[in-house]
């Protein structure tokens, strides 16, 4: 019985350590995502202001996609507001 308790305690400690590492990794992942998002918003702002000139076709297409999605989201938001008024 004592061996079972010790084994369970050992496994519980390992599981707790793994859980803490996973929580830490999740926090780091969120921060990484936020940093990428901030970088992207800054680059887009600099492109819009003419401070950053980029001729790469992939970047141009991504900027066009972002602008298109922003317009689409604004339209959806307006539709939702109209529906709420009904």
- In order of 6, 16, 24, the CA distances from 19 in angstroms are 20, 5, 9
The full DSSP string for 9-45 is HHHHHHHHHHHHHHHHHHHHHHHHHHHHHHHHHHHHH
pTM equals: 0.63
Enter the DSSP assignment of 51. S
pLDDT digits (tens, 9 = 90+) for 4-48: 999 999 889 888 889 889 999 999 999 999 999 999 999 999 999
What's the CA gap between 66 and 56, in Å, rounded? 16
What's the CA gap between 34 and 28, in Å, rounded? 10
With a cut of 90, say whether residue 84 has pLDDT above it: no
């Amino acid at each position: 019985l004592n061996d079972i308790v010790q084994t369970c305690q050992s496994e519980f400690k390992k599981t707790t350590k793994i859980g803490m590492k996973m929580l830490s990794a999740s926090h780091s992942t969120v921060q990484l995502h936020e940093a990428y998002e901030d970088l992207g918003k800054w680059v887009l702002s600099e492109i819009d202001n003419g401070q950053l000139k980029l001729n790469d076709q992939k970047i141009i297409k991504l900027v066009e996609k972002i602008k298109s999605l922003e317009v689409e989201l604004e339209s959806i938001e307006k539709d939702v507001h109209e529906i709420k008024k009904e």
